[in-house]
């Protein structure tokens, strides 16, 4: 195992440092957790829509734990940088924490000693909690769509154009998702798409079961799916689960 002394002989990339952590370098692990505190604070704050302190907020502890988990689970084969992967893990864990806390903060009135007014308050809290949870998720979904629209501009794809040209049938959409997954998981084709902003149809054909004509017809939809797979889109990626 390489030590921190060896690290001083040359500048490692973050991904190389993460690999050393996976090999058991605990000093480096603690150092990275300390160095990337600002990144963790920023990411968690984005989810919570307020500034999160690294000294007093429970959400930061969730983010710190998620960053550590990301270091252990990261693999270059995932097709993204470590920070992109860590950001996704932190956001998922923070959202899960918010959901659980939202449920836990609901008072439970089971004792016969509580009066009708307290019961009414319990119902109001439950309704308020559900509304807050719904609005928070809707806000994050809108933010993801805004980010996606900006990213699609780099691929010369308009959002309205994408909606109008998306496959209408469920089977066709699922087929396009499988194609996008194949495209994204192949390192050579993935780098080509990111560089050229185009689908390498000729190279893709041997790896999929759909025709060249279908690939060309759904080209922009497949590109959009690729962008989602390659980005930090927690909610949008939910729509891609279960296919592949």
Residue 6 is predicted with a pLDDT of: 41
Burial class (CB in 10 A: 0-12, 13-18, 19+), 92: middle
Q: Is residue 45 part of a domain?
A: yes
Q: Is residue 141 part of a domain?
A: no
Band of residue 11 on the pLDDT scale cut at 50, 70, 90: low
Question: For the chain, what is the domain count?
Answer: 2
Q: Of 100, 119, 137, which marks where a domain is finished?
A: 100
Q: Is residue 230 part of a domain?
A: yes
Q: Is residue 152 part of a domain?
A: no
Please name the residue ranges forming H helices in 54-200.
58-73, 82-104, 116-153, 159-165, 170-185, 187-196
Residue 114 is predicted with a pLDDT of: 43
Could you list the residue range(s) of the whole structural domain that residue 197 is in?
159-238
Q: Is residue 34 part of a domain?
A: yes
Read off the pLDDT of residues 138-183 as tens digits, 9 standing for 90 and up. Answer: 777 777 888 888 888 888 898 888 888 788 888 999 999 999 999 9
Domain at 91, CATH number: 1.10.1740.10
């Amino acid at each position: 195992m390489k030590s921190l002394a060896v690290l001083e002989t040359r500048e490692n990339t973050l991904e190389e440092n993460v690999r050393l952590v996976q090999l058991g370098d605990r000093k480096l692990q603690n150092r990275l957790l300390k160095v990337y505190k600002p990144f963790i604070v920023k990411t968690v704050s984005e989810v919570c829509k307020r500034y999160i302190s690294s000294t007093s907020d429970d959400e930061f502890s969730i983010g710190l734990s998620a960053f550590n988990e990301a270091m252990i689970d990261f693999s270059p084969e995932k097709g993204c940088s470590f920070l992109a992967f860590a950001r996704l893990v932190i956001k998922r864990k923070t959202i899960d924490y918010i959901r659980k806390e939202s449920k836990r903060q609901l008072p439970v009135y089971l004792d016969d000693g509580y009066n009708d007014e307290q019961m009414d308050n319990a119902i109001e809290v439950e309704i308020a909690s559900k509304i807050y949870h719904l609005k928070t998720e809707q806000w994050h979904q809108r933010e993801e769509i805004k980010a996606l629209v900006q990213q699609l501009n780099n691929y010369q794809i308009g959002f309205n154009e994408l909606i109008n040209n998306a496959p209408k049938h469920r089977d066709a959409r699922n087929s396009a998702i499988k194609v996008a997954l194949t495209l994204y998981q192949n390192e050579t084709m993935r780098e080509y798409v990111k560089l050229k902003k185009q689908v390498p149809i000729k190279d893709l054909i041997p790896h999929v079961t759909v025709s060249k004509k279908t690939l060309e017809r759904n080209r922009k939809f497949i590109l959009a799916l690729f962008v989602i797979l390659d980005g930090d889109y927690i909610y949008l990626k939910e729509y891609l689960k279960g296919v592949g």
